[in-house]
Structure 1
Amino acid sequence: MEDRFSAITNLRGDRKHAIFGVYDGHGGAKAAEFAAKNLDKNVLEAVAGKRDESEIANAVKRGYLTTDAAFLNENDVKGGSCCVTAMFSDGNIVVSNAGDCRAVMSVGGVAEALSSDHRPCRDDERTRIETTGGYVDTFRGVWRIEGSLAVSRGIGDAHLKKWVIAEPETKTLRIDQDHEFLILASDGLWDKVSNQEAVDIARPFCLGTEEKPLLLGCKKLVDLSASRGSLDDISVMLIPLDQFI
């Protein structure tokens, strides 16, 4: 199991301020462990005092790049990690990702992806890689960088760092009454379960129409992916959004 997660709630004693993350390691768990221990803190430090949306996005980027640089300076560095984070502050949600961990929000029961997977098959990612001297090819239907890695962004991956960048994409939005809950998950879920399926299954657990905890909703999603043949690590986090409005 190479996935890790992080959760910091009640920041500065305010329940409406929090940050969550899911980290999908590859080539070992070291990068995911490092990201889980450091990325959220580096992001929070970078965004402190920022209010403008573009300033916040740039600050989150610095948090990701700082974490990546620090990991690459560690001894015996190997492997890498995809990352997705969700930061809540003053009624806003800031979602960032590097790699193919994904954030999906339920808007009145309709799934809305708040992140876009970074894979070599994405036209803009492939162009970026090829423009900087790398190559992308496919083997048994899976697109890979230099015949190796199937994701194009993330923390670590020193041997492919020229092409596997740690720069995240970030989306900020204001939380309103229609925004019900957020799903953060590694690709072990999303490769077998669609965004809308995940929302449909998780919704009763998140809205309180069943007397069961959120953990059971997470487990139901994990079990569904596994039942469909997923052999990947699967991590799922469910975050009700009404507490952050």
Structure 2
Amino acid sequence: MGASDGSIEDAAIRIVDIGVGQVSAVNSPHLILVLIGCGQSQGPRDHQEDRFKIIRPGEHFGRNIALFAVYDGHGGDSVSNFAENHLHEILSHELQHQHGRDAFDKAITKSFQEVDRRLRERGISGTTGSTVTLALVDVGKGTMVTADLGDSYAFLGVQREDRPLDVLKLSQSQKPGEKSERERIEKAGGQVYDDFGGARIGGVNMSRALGDLDYKKPGPGEKVADLKDPSHPLSNIMKTDLAKATGLADANDHDMLADWISNIPHTNYQSLTGARRYILLLASDGLGEEKDGASSLSWAANQWDKGVEATHIARELAEKSSRRTSDNSTVLIAVLE
């Protein structure tokens, strides 16, 4: 079976049956990738802007490396589409030039920067972006690196013999209202406003993402986006309300010192050795709170023990998330033993 992608069907609910039982197992000195499942719910939205990517060992990165990723688009699906179709290719190239324990971390960061460079080169709208949560798993060495941008999330369930499931939150909140993120944005010349249903940079309620190029330092020979240009999506806002509504009113009056919305990810390294089972859960927004994520993963492990397939578990969690957030939702589950 080839690499599985996140192309969207017409149905609001999607079940992605990646494999059954040991059919999808990959033998290694440390881990067996037993099963992968992904479920999506469109919720009440008109369009599904979430995408995902699943690559098993031997399909792209070499016989021991697997990739799992969820991309949550905002302002359209052009960036999440690009990430689904190209990020793994860029990452594969970058991995060839990195070595050592932090090779995955460096390759991921450089890949995110390269994605933004290509988005700018292709003229993709500067007000469109995507979150990322991804995991690179080396089943031969029993190691995993996760990376996240924005408000998509990663949790790991660790099942040791005769002990309750331990749940680790691997991702990190990346919102403009976070103290460290607000300080970073302000040092870069940006402003964070709290008047429109939570802290925002312009129309974006996250501080790290792919795309959103109008909120990032221009490339060589380029200028900061002119929000007063009639062709810009935000140009119809009254000038007196521009600063309050977007935080970008001064963009043309001074240099953007650094990216306001960053593409530098939070990363997490985990050694996957010594436990009986590991359950990885990646999700777009809706399951991000630590308590919700832990309870969802514990429920998923219980369902798995009862013989419920991972695809159906993921679908149930995606539906629950969509009901809570009235948004698209994607949940990916991978079981390793």
* TM-score normalised per structure 1: 0.89
Q: Does 1:186 align with 2:284?
A: yes
In 1, Cα distance between equivalents of 2:193 and 2:102: 34
| CA displacement, residues 111-169 of structure 1 (integer Å, 9 cap, x when unaligned) | 211110211122111110011111112135411113x2101111110111231121112
Q: Does 1:166 align with 2:263?
A: yes
Secondary structure at 1:188 match in 2? coil
Choose the corresponding residue for 2:173, options 117, 131, 141. Answer: 117
Contact kept in structure 2, 1:192 and 1:230, CA below 8 Å: no
Choose the corresponding residue for 1:43, options 79, 87, 91. Answer: 91
Q: Does 1:157 align with 2:157?
A: no
Secondary structure at 1:11 match in 2? coil
Q: Does 1:29 align with 2:84?
A: no
Instruction: Look up the match of 1:5.
Output: 52
In 1, Cα distance between equivalents of 2:285 and 2:291: 9
Instruction: Look up the match of 2:130.
Output: 81
Contact kept in structure 2, 1:114 and 1:171, CA below 8 Å: yes
* Consecutive unaligned residues in structure 1, runs of 5 or more: none
Choose the corresponding residue for 2:112, options 58, 64, 72. Answer: 64
Q: Does 1:103 align with 2:154?
A: yes
Distance 1:132 1:36, change over 3 A: same
Distance 1:12 1:231, change over 3 A: closer
Contact kept in structure 2, 1:110 and 1:199, CA below 8 Å: no
Amino acid at match of 1:234: S
In 2, Cα distance between equivalents of 1:12 and 1:27: 32
Amino acid at match of 1:87: L
In 2, Cα distance between equivalents of 1:188 and 1:103: 12
Q: How far is 1:191 from its partner?
A: 6.1
In 2, Cα distance between equivalents of 1:153 and 1:6: 20
In 2, Cα distance between equivalents of 1:241 and 1:139: 44
| CA displacement, residues 213-245 of structure 1 (integer Å, 9 cap, x when unaligned) | 101110111222234x32111100001122xxx
Q: How far is 1:15 from its partner?
A: 5.7
Instruction: Look up the match of 2:236.
Output: none
Choose the corresponding residue for 2:321, options 225, 229, 233. Answer: 225
In 1, Cα distance between equivalents of 2:288 and 2:49: 16
Secondary structure at 2:281 match in 1? strand
In 2, Cα distance between equivalents of 1:172 and 1:42: 21
Q: How far is 1:185 from its partner?
A: 0.5
Identity fraction in percent: 27
In 2, Cα distance between equivalents of 1:220 and 1:17: 28
Contact kept in structure 2, 1:193 and 1:225, CA below 8 Å: no
Which has the larger strand fraction? 1
Aligned length: 238
Higher Cα Rg: structure 1 or 2?
A: 2
* TM-score normalised per structure 2: 0.66
Distance 1:117 1:44, change over 3 A: farther
Contact kept in structure 1, 2:71 and 2:80, CA below 8 Å: yes
Contact kept in structure 1, 2:153 and 2:287, CA below 8 Å: no
In 2, Cα distance between equivalents of 1:93 and 1:55: 12
Distance 1:96 1:76, change over 3 A: closer
Q: How far is 1:34 from its partner?
A: 0.3
In 2, Cα distance between equivalents of 1:54 and 1:16: 17
Contact kept in structure 1, 2:146 and 2:170, CA below 8 Å: yes
Q: How far is 1:193 from its partner?
A: 7.1
In 2, Cα distance between equivalents of 1:136 and 1:77: 22
Contact kept in structure 2, 1:188 and 1:235, CA below 8 Å: no
Q: How far is 1:49 from its partner?
A: 5.9
Contact kept in structure 1, 2:143 and 2:270, CA below 8 Å: yes
Amino acid at match of 2:322: A
Contact kept in structure 2, 1:83 and 1:99, CA below 8 Å: yes
Secondary structure at 2:193 match in 1? strand
Q: How far is 1:12 from its partner?
A: 5.9
In 1, Cα distance between equivalents of 2:268 and 2:289: 22
Greater CA drift, 179-188 or 1-10? 179-188
Greater CA drift, 42-51 or 164-173? 42-51
Instruction: Look up the match of 2:34.
Output: none
Distance 1:165 1:114, change over 3 A: same
More relative contact order in 1 or in 2 (CA 8 Å, sep 6+)? 2
